[in-house]
Structures are given as structure tokens and as C-alpha cells.
């Protein structure tokens, strides 16, 4: 049975060939996308589809017997369910009439099938991207904060050095002014000391004059 025959087989149940073709395409597409994404698609009573990773290995060419290295690859794998196996082996008989051969899933267990699995995978990827973006933003904020702290510390050190230089300059200026004032006051004292003898000579002259008058 090929795909066209499969569509014809379910056309009556789906309400027409077009609807059946769309249903088959949708189911197959959902299974393939979910398997490629690494999710396991399990259908109760039928089987499961999953992605299997095969490591690099050496194989032998069956025609030439030559040893060939096979690269690491991933392959799809289908595992038949127990109900499917039982029907194929003949331990169970196929149901008559229009009954479904595959065991139906219990009520409340259906959550959208493979499509829901694909949506969950997409949601996981989106969440991972958001988490990565948040981590990058946090790292950028930390870097910016650290740079700002370093700049502030450098500015404080520069300001402290400038203030110290200004204080030193002011102290030097004040010391220079005091030295200049002291130097200016010293000659005035010497001049006063020199004038004192002149007064003594004047007193002597006055005494001499008085003695002569007598």
C-alpha cells in the first residue's frame, strides 16, 4: 500500500479524498518534525518513532570486503507497539467491520498528539532563547556596573590628589608670605637701634652747654 492507496482507504471515514489526503499529510509531517527535533512520538497500540544517534565506526563493504570508516550520524527508528506485534504475529485477531485495529487511547490522555509535541519543542527552544538573552543582559549589566565603579573610584582618587596638591600649594604660599613679612620687619628694628645713640649724643651736648653757662 502506497500513500495514494492509504488516502483512498480512509477517504470514506474522513468525508472525502481531499480531507483524507490533508489528514495523512498532516500526521506524517508532525511525526517527521517531532522526530527530527529529537522528541519521541508514541502512538498507543501502534508504536513509537524516535531519533537515534550512531557514533562513528568502521564497517565492511559487502561487495569488496574493504574496511570503511562510517561517520557519526542520526537515524530514525520505529518500534512497533505490543498490540501491533500481537496482530501481526496472529496471537490476536483483527476486529471485524469498521472497528479500529489500533487500540484507542484512554479518555483524557490525548493532548494533541504529535502536533502538541512539536509545539512543546518549539516552546522549549523559545524559553531557552529567552533565558540566554536574560543571562546576556545580566552579564552586560554587571560589566557596566563594574566599569562605572572603577571610573568612580578613579575619579575619587584623582580628586583627592588634586585637593592634596592644592593644599600643599596653599601651605607653601602661606609659608612664603610669612618669610617675606619676617624679612621686611627685621630691617626696621635695626634702624631703630641705630637712632638710639643719636639721642645720647644730644644729651651730652646739652650737659656741656649747661656746664659752660655756669
Domain positions in the chain are: 3-103+111-121
Q: What is the pTM of this model?
A: 0.47
pLDDT of residue 115: 47
Residues 57 and 142: beta-carbon distance below 8 Å? no
Work out the average pLDDT over 46-50: 95
Residues 48 and 31: beta-carbon distance below 8 Å? no
Dihedral sign computed on CA atoms, order 135, 137, 143, 148? negative
Tell which residue, 99, 19, 37, 103, has the closest CA to residue 74: 37
Work out the average pLDDT over 73-86: 94
Whether residue 95 is predicted with pLDDT greater than 90 in this model: the reply is: no
pLDDT of residue 50: 96
Q: Is 1 helix (H, G, I), strand (E, B) or coil?
A: coil
Whether residue 100 is predicted with pLDDT greater than 70 in this model: the reply is: yes
pLDDT of residue 137: 72
Cell of 99: 472497528
What pLDDT band is residue 156 in, cutting at 50, 70 and 90? confident
Residues 75 and 96: beta-carbon distance below 8 Å? no
C-alpha angle 39-116-125 in degrees, rounded to nearest 5: 60
Whether residue 54 is predicted with pLDDT greater than 90 in this model: the reply is: yes
Share of the chain above pLDDT 70, in %: 51
pLDDT of residue 155: 65
Residues 30 and 118: beta-carbon distance below 8 Å? yes
pLDDT of residue 113: 47
Q: Per residue in 103-141, pLDDT tens?
A: 666 666 555 444 454 455 555 655 656 666 666 776 667
Whether residue 169 is predicted with pLDDT greater than 60 in this model: the reply is: yes
Dihedral sign computed on CA atoms, order 172, 174, 176, 178? negative
Whether residue 202 is predicted with pLDDT greater than 60 in this model: the reply is: no
> Which CATH number applies to 3-103+111-121: 3.40.50.620, 3.30.428.10, 3.40.630.30, 4.10.520.10?
4.10.520.10
pLDDT of residue 129: 64
Work out the average pLDDT over 50-72: 93
Cell of 84: 501491533
Work out the average pLDDT over 92-113: 68
Q: Is 189 helix (H, G, I), strand (E, B) or coil?
A: helix
Per DSSP, what are the bridge partners of residue 76? Answer: 51
Q: Which residues of 184-211 are buried (b: 16+ CB within 10 A; e: fewer)?
A: eeeeeeeeeeeeeeeeeeeeeeeeeeee
Angstrom CA distances, 186 to 78, 165, 192, stand at 114, 32, 10
Per DSSP, what are the bridge partners of residue 53? Answer: 74
Least confident interval from 83-87, 125-129, 209-213:
209-213
Helices (H) and strands (E) in the chain, counts: 4, 5
Least confident interval from 27-31, 53-57, 82-86, 165-169:
165-169
What pLDDT band is residue 191 in, cutting at 50, 70 and 90? very low
Cα–chain center distance at 148: 20
Q: Is 77 helix (H, G, I), strand (E, B) or coil?
A: strand
Dihedral sign computed on CA atoms, order 5, 11, 12, 14? positive
Amino acid at each position: 500500500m502506497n500513500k495514494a492507496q492509504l488516502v483512498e482507504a480512509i477517504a470514506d471515514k474522513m468525508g472525502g479524498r481531499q480531507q483524507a489526503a490533508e489528514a495523512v499529510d498532516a500526521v506524517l509531517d508532525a511525526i517527521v518534525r517531532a522526530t527530527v527535533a529529537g522528541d519521541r512520538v508514541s502512538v498507543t497500540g501502534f508504536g513509537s518513532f524516535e531519533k537515534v544517534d550512531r557514533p562513528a565506526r568502521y564497517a565492511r563493504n559487502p561487495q569488496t570486503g574493504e574496511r570503511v570508516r562510517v561517520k557519526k550520524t542520526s537515524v530514525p527508528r520505529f518500534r512497533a507497539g505490543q498490540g501491533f506485534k500481537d496482530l501481526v504475529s496472529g496471537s490476536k485477531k483483527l476486529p471485524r467491520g469498521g472497528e479500529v485495529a489500533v487500540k484507542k487511547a484512554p479518555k483524557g490522555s490525548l493532548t494533541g498528539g504529535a502536533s502538541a509535541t512539536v509545539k512543546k519543542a518549539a516552546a522549549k527552544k523559545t524559553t531557552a532563547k529567552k533565558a540566554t538573552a536574560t543571562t546576556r543582559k545580566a552579564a552586560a549589566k554587571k560589566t557596566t556596573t563594574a566599569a562605572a565603579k572603577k571610573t568612580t573610584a578613579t575619579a575619587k582618587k584623582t580628586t583627592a590628589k588634586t585637593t592634596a596638591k592644592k593644599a600643599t600649594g596653599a601651605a607653601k604660599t602661606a609659608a612664603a608670605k610669612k618669610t617675606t613679612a619676617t624679612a621686611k620687619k627685621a630691617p626696621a628694628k635695626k634702624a631703630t637701634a641705630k637712632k638710639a645713640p643719636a639721642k645720647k649724643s644730644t644729651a651730652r651736648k646739652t650737659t656741656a652747654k649747661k656746664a659752660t653757662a655756669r
